[in-house]
Structure 1
Amino acid sequence: MQKLAIDTDFLRNTMLELLSIPSPVGFTDEVVHYTCSKLTELGVPFELTRRGAIRATLKGETDRPACAVVAHLDTIGAIVRALKPNGRITMLPLGTWSSRFAEGARVTLFTDRGAYRGTILPLLASGHAYNEAVDTQPVGWEHVELRIDEDAQSVEQLRNLGVNIGDFIAVDAQPELHENGYIASRHLDDKAGVAALLAALKALIESKISLPVHFHPMFTVTEEVGFGASAILDERISEMVGIDIAIPATGQNSREHGVTVAICDSSGPFDYHLTRELIGLCERHNIQHQRDVFPYYFSDSAAALRAGFDIRHALIGFGGDSSHGYERTHLSALVAVAELISLYAQNGPVIARDRKAIGPIEGFPHQYKPEDLEPPAPLPHPKEFL
């Protein structure tokens, strides 16, 4: 097993190209085409579900049990909810994100007839008109509106422009890459994770390392609304690792450097054995890492379990400050994620028994051995209390 060198130029460029493609959940066809083109360039075969989730394959010595890694192509965004008499637009958020981060965003509105540029504004947007009320107005999606850069001061004018209920709104990423390694942008969740997965795949292909089992890089298109990897697995895949944003914040242990290994999210604990194997790979190969738990978080791999797949699942992440806003991470975190994924592909399944979906007790793992525990001290005799 080798710790592979990651092409950071490829990772950066791929991430920037992904960030330039609007892909709010439900409007992801173009980013699917882009990702398939990258897989084609790398020489990796793939197949798509009806809605555009991608399952690629690097062949190993056997296809059973197989391992998978998943990242998502969809982002947060919005959709037209209502046309207003003043020619502005009321929005419904796609995915879970605060209107605090929407205020001031430059966006593209996609209609059936074409696209328009615009800005999301608070209802009271000008201090020269509303004075201190600008600072005291409430926060919420009902308190913001979209102003498109067209002659539109009425519902009729919006309709004449082709604006309809249900039109998609994509928020500009506006990425900035700094020489010190920091990356600031909207939608690093999860386009930075996708770029890290593609960079790991490139390293594996160029190394020509033989893999013990089939390795499936997968890309989903509905993670932000909770479906994620619910329709892309098959019965040969016994375990899956998700790649997503980790959350550096007060009370959290995630960092913007190294890889964060999640132990638990809102769906419950991740698989004990697979999670510890990933931590072990980091320890044995000197990859900076930390553990964390996420009480308000849901991911692709958890969605697979809810869909009924009996797999071992885990989650790793790059620390991204200010999630679902102007996010920030560090290149070292993305490199660490890619390094860990390239090692995981070489590692093979964590439990050999998982080759079969169901079987006898033989080979089923232990989380601890009772004989290794110190026996509890005997309770004192009741007379000793007298």
Structure 2
Amino acid sequence: MINLNQQEYITILEKLLSINSPSGNTGKIIDFIEGFLHDLQIDTKRNNKGGIIAIFKGESNTKQRMITAHVDTLGAMVKEIKNNGRLRLDLIGGFTYNSIEGENCLIETTNGKTYTGTILLHQASVHVYKDASKTERNQANMEVRIDEKVTNAEEVRNLGISVGDFVSFYPRVKVTPSGFIKSRHLDDKASVAILLLLLKQLKQDKATLPYTTNFLISNNEEIGYGGNSNIPSETIEYLAVDMGPMGDGQSTDEYTVSICVKDASGPYHYELRKKLVQLAAEHDIPYQLDIYPYYGSDASAAIRAGHDIRHGLIGPGIDSSHAYERTHFSSVKSTGLLIYYYLMSSM
């Protein structure tokens, strides 16, 4: 049985969170994951989109499973270099400008240089702008204040900054004595860390899975197509491990594993969902069933791409999704346990 160690989990999670990986610029974190898996002597391959697949052989190769979590995050690109020496952004992923107001960020140029900055409302100073509190937070009004002595667009260009450069947000990781984990990008690095430690334990225990299982760490989920390809034809079941969003009317909480029954793509496979619920009940794993109204996953992307699979979605409960997120280690632990028992179960 998997036994996630909290400190070991936090260590790998903090490492993942420290490597910037907005959708479209995930090479460094995929390199890190590849090295982690190679140290465990787990076979891997990369797809042309830049994701990585770990192959764990099972007793049966004619029926296979795929499990995925995504390592790409929200972020932004430089849309425009403004005449005042600041940057206008274009967002990567589905989130709101007010969720990044006041956030420190990193600008990565094409030639590899990096600069820090802060994302602010142009009319931020209440001593100058009477209606600062009422001003809409949108692309026209938000800008990056670069931490360099620049006052115009030419000086910014001389730094090597140009349109299309990636902008990443500081994660601001904080772990509390009570077990809460606060950070940006827990969606979905919290789940990636679970899968990496699960693979580590399976390898160290010389575990035998009933079916060959392909673990896909996808890198384009936030923009809709991370896990929709490279699915072996032998795949029967496809389980996405992603975050469970919390809010008014939601059942998901920060202490249990969330099992999704439906999202914006429609219902998940009913028989697979019932199986996940049965496994949770049999092994006393705290869980919640939930519907995610404005959500899509790698599993739903695979269905849309035409793959003939049974698709499911589970994950730790995450508060304030796509903002400054929070979960609790008990939710992480419950998610890890359900994945383990699912992997050991028969189809």
Name the TM-score, length of structure 2 as normaliser: 0.97
- Cα offset, 1:255, TM superposition: 0.6
Q: In 2, distance between residues paired with 1:205 and 1:89?
A: 47
1:122-141 matched pairs, under 5 angstroms = 122-130=121-129, 132-141=130-139
CA distance in structure 1 between the aligned counterparts of 2:101 and 2:294, rounded to whole angstroms: 23
State the alpha-carbon separation in 2 of the partners of residues 111 and 208 from structure 1: 44
Name the SS of the counterpart of 1:332 in structure 2.
Answer: helix
Measured in 2, the distance between the counterparts of 1:338 and 1:211 equals 16
Out of 250, 253, 260, the position equivalent to 1:252 is 250
Identity level (%): 36
Tell me if the contact between 1:259 and 1:316 (Cα under 8 Å) persists in the aligned partners.
yes
Tell me the number of residue pairs that the alignment of Structure 1 and Structure 2 aligns.
346
Unaligned runs of 5+ in 1: 350-386
1:210 aligns with 2:202: no
Is the radius of gyration larger for structure 1 or structure 2?
1
Q: Residue 262 of structure 1: SS of its match in structure 2?
A: strand
- The one-letter amino acid of 1:65's match is K
Q: Which amino acid aligns with 2:313?
A: L
Alpha-carbon deviation of 1:161? Answer: 1.1
In structure 2, C-alpha distance between the alignment counterparts of 1:223 and 1:13, rounded to whole Å: 24
1:115 corresponding residue in structure 2 = 114
Listed one character per residue, the Cα deviations across residues 111-147 of structure 1 (whole Å, up to 9, x for unaligned) are 12311100000011112222x4221111222220011
> How much does 1:19 deviate?
0.2
What whole-Å deviation, never above 9, does each CA across 1:17-39 have from its counterpart, x for those lacking one?
00000000000000100111111
- Structure with higher strand content: 2
Match of 2:289 in 1: 291
Matched-pair contact (CA < 8 Å) for 1:66–1:215: yes
1:233 equivalent to 2:231? Answer yes
Judge conservation of contact 1:6–1:338 (CA < 8 Å) in 2: yes
Contact 1:228 1:301 in 2 (8 A): no
- How far residue 86 of structure 1 moved from its aligned partner, in angstroms, is 0.4
| 1:161 corresponding residue in structure 2 | 159
Is the contact between residue 11 and residue 198 of structure 1 (CA under 8 Å) also seen in structure 2? no
Alignment partner, residue 320 of structure 2: 322
| 1:105 alignment partner in structure 2 | 103
Question: Residue 343 of structure 2 aligns with which residue?
Answer: 345
Distance 2:4 2:56 in 1: 18
Partner of 1:201: 199
Unpaired segments ≥5 residues, structure 2: none
Secondary structure in 1 matching 2:72: coil
Letter in 2 for 1:27: N
- Residue number in structure 2 paired with 1:34: 32
| Letter paired with 1:93 | L
Q: Secondary structure at the match of 2:242?
A: strand
CA drift at 1:230: 1.1
1:263 matches 2:253: no
More displaced stretch, 197-206 vs 238-247: 197-206
Native 8 Å contact 1:89 1:147 kept in 2:
yes
Q: 1:188 matched to which residue of 2?
A: 186
CA contact (8 A) 1:175 1:184 kept: yes
CA contact 1:72–1:219 (8 Å) conserved in 2: yes
Root-mean-square deviation (Å): 1.1
Match of residue 369 from structure 1: none
The range that moved more, 154-163 or 92-101, is 154-163
Residue of 305, 312, 316 corresponding to 2:303: 305
Cα distance in 1 for partners of 2:19, 2:247 equals 28
Specify the SS of the correspondent of 2:127: helix
Shift of 1:40: 1.4
Of 88, 91, 94 in structure 2, the residue corresponding to residue 90 of structure 1 is: 88
Q: Look up the match of 1:73.
A: 71
Note the 1:15-30 alignment, pairs <5 A.
Answer: 15-30=13-28
Q: Give me the whole-angstrom Cα distance separating, in 2, the residues matched to 1:156 and 1:290.
A: 54
